[in-house]
Structure 1
């Protein structure tokens, strides 16, 4: 059960960014957001409790969401859950659809040739979101879940996205990503992000799984900043213990990211501070 978000019900300042309110739309979005965290869905009473509103405030909106196909009834009609409609709308967005269509066959070829899985990650609403994934043809696999949201500051994909944003544009970019200014957290990571930027990739033990080495490569947009990241959660195999398997995977991932980039030029360097160091 999730904790009610007080921001959903707080008063909006008259001159704030949300001064043009649409209560019915807000209520519908609240319902979609609260259901997105529930694998088994929620009953109407549970939705009311989660949102902290009366049943009459959500009844008609919930029924309209069912009628439009965004929400469905499950378990005999007593519970409500999201359908795939939102996912289909998101993946049908032309730029995302084009990137996935271009990336998927190349990712499949990478997974087959290197015998390692890989996934494509984009920034969205303050998270790193997995939008595509490829697995090797094997009787077992280790893979990330498409649609999963990850912490930008605690995953290889997220840190790589942050590393390849020019410092002069980073604050504005993070605002576009839906992430509030995080100057303190960025400052704590300055040295690490600079090292990743200088190397051109990130390769380090996974912070989510023991025995996995995350290899991440940026996909550059027209301005030379990372618009997406390819990550390979590399697993050592006993029959490759004496080979350059990890280095081969890194080189192949960088080649793949370069092929998907809209601007293959090297990213612009970080400005030096007054002491000649990185800012």
Structure 2
């Protein structure tokens, strides 16, 4: 392998971290001397990175022999990625059916780093439509998907997350008061769906419902987004019913049969 110390500064630390992780992955346990030889770094550099990884929970150290090994934290991260891959595959059929019925934009969103991230999307068949992309992040407080992801989370955990978020004002309808937002989360969970009534973007309306993993934990949200000019309140029940039907089918195929709506 190439010597990480000769790489540009912008990538050197990343190269070193992944080099160490890869070497640790090849061995059940390994000491600093052997590890430094494998990754072509000084023992002091390897030690510094190992201590950081240890503090973050990715590496453990055997007190008896001072050897290091990987923890299951990387496995957990990989499992989350695989979970999203499986979820996207399962959800795609239902999302395409929703798209055919409504001709509107269909999103699948998940929680990541105090935001929502769109992990799958079916574009609207109309010229006038919501502009978004897979991988785009949006706030929790001003989106229907974000409200769903917080409403079915442990309430104290949800409030802790929201407290560290910047509750920015995007339109005149954006809710930025945490107490008011908590009341909205109560309503969302009681009625089984969340709305974004032009709270993120003027002229854009969105309805979202929860999706649960096989253990019954909130894992994602499914939504329909459309221009407000193409919506009236009489359509709400129809769209919510469609979303619940699709979300229930996704949950069942994922191994959860207790969808509550």
> Who is 2:210 aligned against?
218
Does the CA contact (< 8 Å) of 1:123 and 1:129 recur in 2? yes
Does the CA contact (< 8 Å) of 1:119 and 1:144 recur in 2? no
Does the CA contact (< 8 Å) of 2:128 and 2:227 recur in 1? no
CA deviations over 1:50-96 (Å, ceiling 9, x no partner):
xxxxxx9715628969xx9xxxxxxxxxxxxxxxxxxxx98993211
> Who is 2:183 aligned against?
191
Unaligned runs of 5+ in 1: 1-24, 26-55, 69-88, 268-279
Does the CA contact (< 8 Å) of 2:110 and 2:221 recur in 1? yes
CA deviations over 1:172-211 (Å, ceiling 9, x no partner):
x788xxx58759x765532111111100001241312222
Structure-1-length-normalised TM-score: 0.54
Does the CA contact (< 8 Å) of 2:208 and 2:223 recur in 1? yes
- Per residue, is there more helix in 1 or in 2? 2
**In 2, Cα distance between equivalents of 1:149 and 1:137:** 23
Residue 161 to residue 93, structure 1, CA distance change in 2 (3 Å):
closer
- Considering only aligned residues, what root-mean-square deviation do their CA atoms show, in Å? 4.0
SS in 1 for 2:207: strand
SS in 2 for 1:61: helix
**In 1, Cα distance between equivalents of 2:215 and 2:179:** 23
**In 1, Cα distance between equivalents of 2:179 and 2:196:** 20
Structure-2-length-normalised TM-score: 0.57
CA deviations over 1:183-241 (Å, ceiling 9, x no partner):
9x765532111111100001241312222221011112244332101121133566x87
**In 1, Cα distance between equivalents of 2:203 and 2:79:** 32
SS in 2 for 1:93: helix
Structure whose CA Rg is larger? 2
**In 1, Cα distance between equivalents of 2:205 and 2:162:** 30
> Who is 2:242 aligned against?
252
Map 1:14-25 onto structure 2 (within 5 A): none
SS in 2 for 1:141: coil
Map 1:255-274 onto structure 2 (within 5 A): 255-261=245-251, 262-266=256-260
Unaligned runs of 5+ in 2: 20-76, 166-176
> Who is 2:9 aligned against?
58
Residue 60 to residue 124, structure 1, CA distance change in 2 (3 Å):
closer
